[in-house]
Structures are given as structure tokens and as C-alpha cells.
A = this chain, B = another copy of it.
Amino acid sequence: MSVLTPEQFNRFIDPAAVAVIGASSKTGPGHYNLFENLLREGCRARLYPVNRRGTDILGVPAYRSVKDIPESVDLAIIVVPRQHVVEAVRECAEVGVPAAIVITQGFADADTQGRAWQQEIKEIIAGSGTRLIGPNTIGLANAFNELHTSFQKFDLYPQANAMICQSGMFILASANFINGLGLGVDIGNAADIGFAELLPCLAADDRIRVINLHMESLTNAKQFVDNAANITLEKPVLVYKVGRSAKAAQAAASHSGALAGEDHVFDAAFDKAGIIRVDDLDEMLDLNKALLTYPSIRGQRIAVVSLSGGGGIAVLDALGRYGLEVAQPGQAVLDAIQALNPPWLEVGNPVDTWLAALKHGLAEATREILGLLLSDDQVDGAIVLLNAYRTTGFEVMDPMVAGIVAEAGKRPDKPVALWAFGLNQHAVIARAEESGIVAGFTSPERAARALAGLYHYHHDIKGRRREPSATFDDVDPDRVAGLLSEAEGTPVLGSATLDILEAYGVRVARARLVSEPKAALELADEMGYPLAIKVASDDVIHKSDVGGVRLDIRDADELLAAWEAVLAGVREHLPEAVIDGMYLQPYHRGSVELFVVARLSHFGPLIVFGLGGIYTEILKDVVFTLAPLSLGEAQETIRRLKSHSVLAGARGGDKVDEESLAESRGRVAQLVSDFPQIQELDINPLAATPGGVLALDARAVLAVRKDQL
């Protein structure tokens, strides 16, 4: 695990001396000359062009090699053709340049040759003092000192936020995508520096209040999640992660593999880290606005101020969609608003300002009503409608905006969001946002989504408790180590998996195989009723679908009838199946059958969990979490199942013991974390009852070679 120190990061974003290796003397728009940009656009560092010919570049003395520069260079920007990049990087490493950016493309993004060169670059800098961004990048942008290393000119509009991206356009268009930019790094192919290392550097920078990520792929995944989990308690981290649908198309071969498609794993990781995954670019923009403008929001009760009844109702709909509440102002405030209106107008929330505006003027009516609402303890924030028609003109809009800003400024704890409509909407929003006090949005849905996101960050994410991971002392790792060593060379472990689980404190109930009815009756007397029987056959995959399972067998007669019924059912559906007999198992009336799968991922062990059968197969109702788990996390994620009401007794069963259910997942997480040679562990079914949970069947996939670890 490598760490980019603040000092190293500073050489990148605030260098005193910069070498441009491959600096060109061509000027003008079509040439995208990075050196020209640096020279002409306010870069405050001393600039040293490096060029084979060594002649002056745009009037600045040039050097043939970075080695010839007469002072220590902080940052080298490499723009030579790809076949010369390795050499340039080597020279930087040799003279100890601490920071290098390779702009040139054509490496791991291209052909075999490019991939080989990228590997060579990694090897050159490994152990050297040189850290590297790129290749295939526009580098970085720092709005605080007007440094940017892009070959393109763009709108570098300062803001208290940051962007780490895998494509330069997320910096170039940052003014549009995230409402401006403080610091931005395009990691490109990320041969060296990636998300995991940059995140803490940006988190440590006091000028940055919101961190944005554009992510296509991720290395050092575990380090990334661990870093982010701490950072999101202090600063919001948003991610625009692409690959949702492309990955969805990669139908994985196996059942749980398909469910655990890569993108779901990223979701589990973001969730664990408290990272907010935005749904689209609009949401990224709107959330940046909200998080940068408003200090916080106390609750979800929103007042609506509208000069249009229909517009107000549209906002109510949007509030409901994003889980916000319609504030119910107190009677005193309602009475004060009533006094501005004819007596027959029924005043409520949304507040219709039209009649008050006719009497008192639009700006004054809006200001007064907003002020009244914000003074009310039942109101946590407001959405105000602005009719920004071009024909209306700013002479009407400006006083209205000024009144809103004045009232909002008195209550910084209560966010006021604008929904501006009409052809001047963007202009009016821009003028309103100059205040730094209100943020404007272009639809009711976007205004509501932004306020909901603000609440989500401050309450669900920032406000979350960081519980320690569940660690159980009563586990027996020695026994597991023994069992695993017995199993060495076996790729798939069957019923012995239950022994492993038992050693980690998961209660198990072993099924016992009998080959004929008489033996079943004897065993049943020993085990006691009620029982369940299941067909034992390698040829039957989905036992219950072919009538291969009978539950709640109460006595010998029922057992014999069930035996025949199972045989008949399986023979009907799968006449070719070889039947070895039946498994007998204690049956727990009112229990719910679940499954727990643990498998390896780039983020560490992934725990997949859900009710079996149709809930999983038809409805994909499963929850993904990453190990290790805290008990609170394990409990909270149970409630995310769509079928959670089944666990609470909705299907006539008894309410199951969710605490035990959470604990068993915690124990499984601990087990697979302790023993990485368990590549996959599948408990199915896990019977949940009011009195606890029981693993009824399980299997494990083991690493058979050391290099699989």
C-alpha cells in the first residue's frame, strides 16, 4: 500500500519549477500547445522547456534533457511522442524529479507495445523518488494558483470542490459538471497514482469541501474503501461511476456470480465507504451546488412558495419522490400569511403567492411569506419558484431574488432552493447563486433531489456511527485451519463446511442421509418430529422446484407418504436422476429459509445475502455487503431486502430473530477474512426462526494453489 504524502502532492499542484519535456513552439488554437498555455495563462512556476533541439521555445531558453536544467525541478510534464516517453521518465527518475505527468496517450489504452511501455514506466519509477500521474491524461488543474496542464483551454472556474477522474473532460467541463473546480486530477491510465492515494490528499486540503470522482475502474480497491470510509465522515465524496449497463450485459456463468456482477460490488463498496453514487451528470451538478451552498439541513420538512398553484403541486410530487416531507407550518404563521390574502383563499403549504403579490407586489409578497415560513419550527427548508421569463426582465426578477436571498441569509440552517423556469432560468439562477446563499435548479425534481441528497449526506452518511467490525472471541481458528488442511487439494468442500461454520460459532443442523424408508423411520424416531426431507441426488439442482422437498412432517405416516411423494415428484420431472436417498433434517415451523454467500472480490470478501427461491431467482432481491461487517451494518442491511416483511412475519411465519441473523453474517465475514483460501462459501439454506438461525447446508470453494490467494 503506497501513500502519496501531502508534500509529494504539493509538488504536483503547486510546483515552483516545471519542466515541459517535448515542449513545442507551434502556436495558435489548432496546435493545442500545452507549453504555450502554461506560459500565457497565469502559471506562476518557473518554466523550463525541454526539447531535442535545445533551441528557445516561444522565447524561453530550452534544454536538451531534464538533466540539464540548472535547478531542481518539482514537476515534469511529458508530452513527447509515445516511443520517447520511457526515456523521458527514466531521466526524471535519474535526477530525482519528485512529480511527473505523462500526457501522451498510446500505452495501456492502446496496443501490446503500449502496454509493455507502461509496464516499463512502472518499473522505472518503482523505488525511485518519482511519483507519476498518467499516462494518457490531461494532468491536473489547480484553480487556486491558476495552474493547469491541459493542452486544451477550458473554463477553470474556482470552487471549493475537487475532481479525480479517468478522463480529462471531467476537469475540462467541471464548470458545467460540478459547478466549478478547485483541484482536479485526471489519473489517466493510473500507472502509478490512483484514486486510493489521491483521496486523502484532497481530504486534507482545507480549501476543498466536496470531492467528486469519475470512475471507470479501480485499483487498490480495499485501500480506497478504507480511506474513503474515514473521509466521508468529514467531507462528502460523490462518484459518477460508469459501466453500469455494460457490466450488466456480462452475464456471469454461475448463479451467484451473475447476481454479484461487478457493478453491484462497486455499489456495496460505495455504500460501505459512505460514498454517494450519483445517478447521472445532472445529479452530480445539483449535489455539488447543494453541498457547497448550504451548511446543512436539520430535517426533511420543506415549505413551498409558489406564485402558481400547479407549480406548487409539481413540487409536492417531487418532494414525495425523493422522500422529503411537506412541512406543516404552525397556525401563527398560517394566520400571518392569511392576512396578506383575501379571506376566502385557503392558506396551506404550498403557499400560493399570487393574490398577495397583486396586493403587495411580487418581490415583497415572496420575501415576507418566505421569511414567515423560515421562522417556523416546523419548517426545515424551502423551495421557491421563480418565473424567469425573458420578457419579465431583470428589473422584476432582481428585487425578487434579493428578497429571497435576504430572508435565506437570516437562516443559514434552513436551505432555500430556487426552481427557476422560463427562458432566463439559467441567467436568473446564476445571479441568485452569486450570493453564495441560495442555489437554483431547473426543475422541481432536481430541486427536491438536491435537498434530499443534502439531507442524506448530513444525516445518513456524515451522521453515521463508525462501529467497530464485529469480532467474535469464541471462534476456533485452529479447528478451521485443521479442517482446511485436511481438505487440501479439494477444490469444493461439501458438508465439512458446516464443521467450519460451527467452529466460528454459526449454529448448524446437519442433514442425515438415509437410503430407504425403514432407515428413515428409525432415524426420525431418534431425531424427533417435525422433520423435513429432501431428495439426495447430484442430478437435482433446484430441489423444491421438482417436488424434491417436503417440510413439516409430523409423524411416521406423514414421513412415509412424503417419501413416496418426493420420489414420484422427482421421477416425474427428472426421470433420469439417480437418487441416493433422502436427507432428514429437523424442521423449524415458521422458519424462513435464506442464503448467505461469501466470495472474494477486489474489495475483499463480499457477503451476498437474501431469501432463497423466487426472491432471488425471479426478483433478484439480494443484498451485497463487504466484509468486515459491524453488527449495526449487518442489521441495517437486512432491512434493505424488499422481502424484509417476510422476516417480520408477513407470510404467516413468526418474526425471526434478526439479531442472530446479523450475527451469523458477521461470523461468516470474520471467517472468510481470517481464511482467504476460502474463495467462496455458500450457506443455503440458512433457516431463520424466532429462536435463532441454523445453517442447514453449506459448501465452500477452496483455493487449491497458493497463487490463487
Give Cα distance in the complex from A59 to B426, angstroms: 39
How far apart are the CA atoms of A311 and B138 in the complex, in Å? 14
Which residues of chain A from 248 to 262 have a CB within 8 Å of any chain B CB? 248-249
Q: Given A154-B422, A387-B169, is A652 in contact with B542 using a C-beta cutoff of 8 Å?
A: yes
B317 and A650 contacting across the interface, CB-CB below 8 Å: no
A157 at the interface (CB under 8 A from B): yes
Contact with B along A388-409 (1 / 0, CB 8 A): 0111100010000000000000
Q: How far is the CB of A313 from chain B (nearest CB, A)?
A: 5
CA distance in complex: A193, B47 (Å): 74
| Residues on B with beta carbons closer than 8 Å to the beta carbon of A561 | 557-558, 561
Residues 441-452 of A, flagged 1 when their CB comes within 8 A of B and 0 if not, give 011111000000
Given contacts A246-B317, A645-B618, A652-B542, contact A421 B110 (CB under 8 A): no
Neighbouring B residues of A589 by C-beta, 8 Å: 572
Most buried by B among A32, A279, A344: A344
C-alpha spacing A443/B346, complex, angstroms: 41
Interface string of A340-363 (1 = CB under 8 A from B): 001011100000000100100100
Contact B309 A167 (CB under 8 A): yes
Contact partner of A320 (CB less than 8 A), chosen from B106, B169, B249, is: B249
Distance in angstroms from A565 CB to nearest chain B CB is 7
Instruction: Output the residue of A165, A214, A651 with the most chain B CB within 10 A.
Output: A651
Known: A281-B444, A650-B617. A310 touches B216 (CB 8 A): yes
Q: Does A172 contact B (CB under 8 A)?
A: yes
A503 to chain B, nearest CB (A): 35
Is residue A639 within 8 Å, beta carbon to beta carbon, of the partner chain?
no
Instruction: Select from chain B the residue with minimum beta-carbon distance to A541.
Output: B652
Bound form: Cα–Cα A342–B279 in Å? 35
Q: A155-B389, A176-B423, A311-B167 are in contact. Are A246 and B546 (CB under 8 A)?
A: no
Do B113 and A344 have beta carbons less than 8 Å apart? yes
Q: Name A387's contact: one of B30, B172, B249, B572 (CB within 8 Å).
A: B172
CA gap between A168 and B355 in the complex, in Å = 15
Least distance between A547 CB and chain B CB atoms (Å): 7
A308 sits at the interface (CB 8 A): yes
Whether A153 pairs with B281 at a CB distance below 8 angstroms is: no
Is B246 a contact partner of A155 (Cβ separation < 8 A)?
no
Q: Which residues of B contact A173 (CB under 8 A)?
A: 387, 389, 421-422
A245 touching B321 in the complex, CB below 8 Å, given contacts A310-B169, A552-B565? yes
Q: A425: which B residues are within 8 A, CB to CB? A: 176
- A427's nearest neighbour on chain B, judged by CB, is B426
Asked if B421 and A176 make an inter-chain contact with CB atoms under 8 angstroms apart, the answer reads yes
A168-182 contact mask (Cβ, 8 Å, vs B): 1 or 0: 111011011100000
Within 8 Å CB of A240, what residues of B? 314
A573 at the interface (CB under 8 A from B): yes
How many angstroms between the C-alpha atoms of A235 and B568 in the bound complex? 58
Contacts of A546 in B (CB 8 A): 652
- The reply to whether the CB of A684 lies closer than 8 angstroms to some CB of chain B is no
Tell whether, in the assembled complex, residue B114 and residue A344 are in contact, meaning their CB atoms are under 8 Å apart: yes
Determine if A565 and B573 form an interchain contact, defined as CB atoms under 8 angstroms apart: no
CA distance A545 to B106 in the complex (A): 63
Considering residues A281, A446, A558, A650, which has the most beta carbons from chain B within 10 angstroms of its beta carbon? A281
Identify which of residues 136-178 in chain A touch chain B, using a CB-to-CB cut-off of 8 Å: 152-155, 157, 165-170, 172-173, 175-177
A423:B282 contact, CB within 8 angstroms: no
**Bound form: Cα–Cα A114–B443 in Å:** 32
Residues of B within 8 A of A165 (CB): 310
Contact between B346 and A110, CB atoms less than 8 A apart: yes
B residues in contact with A377, CB < 8 Å = none
Contact between chains at A552 and B557 (CB < 8 Å): no
Q: How far is the CA of A574 from the CA of B242 in the complex (A)?
A: 52
Q: How far is the CA of A344 from the CA of B355 in the complex (A)?
A: 68
Residues of B within 8 A of A32 (CB): 358
| Complex interface: chain B residues within 8 A of A167 (CB) | 308-311, 313
Contact B421 A245 (CB under 8 A): no
Instruction: Say whether B310 contacts A214, CB under 8 Å.
Output: yes
Q: Is the CB of B172 within 8 A of A422?
A: yes
A519 within 8 A of B: no
Residue contact B389 to A154, C-beta cutoff 8 Å? yes
In the docked arrangement, what's the CA distance between A305 and B167, Å?
15
A161 and B175 CA atoms in complex are apart in Å by 33
- Flag if A389 contacts B153 (CB, 8 Å): yes
CB distance from A7 to the nearest CB of B (A): 30
Q: Are B169 and A311 interface neighbours, CB within 8 A? A: yes
CB of A538 closer than 8 Å to a CB of B: no
Instruction: Give the Cβ gap from A343 to chain B, nearest Cβ, in Å.
Output: 9
Which chain B residues lie closer than 8 Å to A169 at the CB level? 308, 310-311, 387, 421
Q: For A244, give its contact among B321, B361, B568 (CB under 8 Å).
A: B321
- A249 contacts which chain B residues (CB < 8 A)? 320
| Cα separation A614 to B650 with both chains bound (whole Å) | 9
B residues less than 8 Å from A346 (CB atoms):
110-111
Q: Closest residue of chain B to A279, judged by CB?
A: B445
Q: How far is the CB of A149 from chain B (nearest CB, A)?
A: 16
A392 near B317: Cβ-Cβ < 8 Å: no
A565 touches B554 (CB 8 A): yes
Report yes or no: B154 in contact with A391, Cβ–Cβ below 8 A: yes
CB <8 Å contact, A445 and B282: yes
A6 on the B face (CB < 8 A): no
Q: Does A319 contact B (CB under 8 A)?
A: yes
Instruction: Determine if B573 and A652 form an interchain contact, defined as CB atoms under 8 angstroms apart.
Output: yes
Across the interface, A155 reaches (CB within 8 A) one of B111, B391, B554, namely B391
In this assembly, does A509 line the interface, its C-beta being within 8 Å of a C-beta of chain B?
A: no
Contacts of A645 in B (CB 8 A): 618
With A310-B168, A650-B617 in contact, do A246 and B316 touch (Cβ < 8 Å)?
A: yes
Do the beta carbons of B422 and A248 come within 8 Å of each other?
no
Can you list 20 A-B pairs with a CB-CB distance of less than 8 A? A113-B344, A153-B389, A154-B391, A155-B389, A155-B422, A167-B309, A168-B308, A168-B310, A173-B421, A245-B321, A246-B316, A246-B320, A248-B320, A280-B445, A282-B442, A544-B652, A573-B652, A613-B651, A614-B615, A618-B642
6 A-B pairs closest in CB distance:
A167-B310, A245-B320, A545-B652, A169-B308, A280-B445, A173-B421
Enumerate chain A interface residues (CB-CB to B < 8 A): 29-30, 32, 105-106, 109-111, 113-114, 152-155, 157, 165-170, 172-173, 175-177, 214, 216, 240, 242-246, 248-249, 279-282, 308-311, 313-314, 316-321, 342, 344-346, 355, 358, 361, 387, 389-392, 396, 421-423, 425-426, 442-446, 542, 544-547, 552, 554, 557-558, 561, 564-565, 568-569, 572-573, 589, 613-615, 617-619, 642-643, 645-646, 650-653
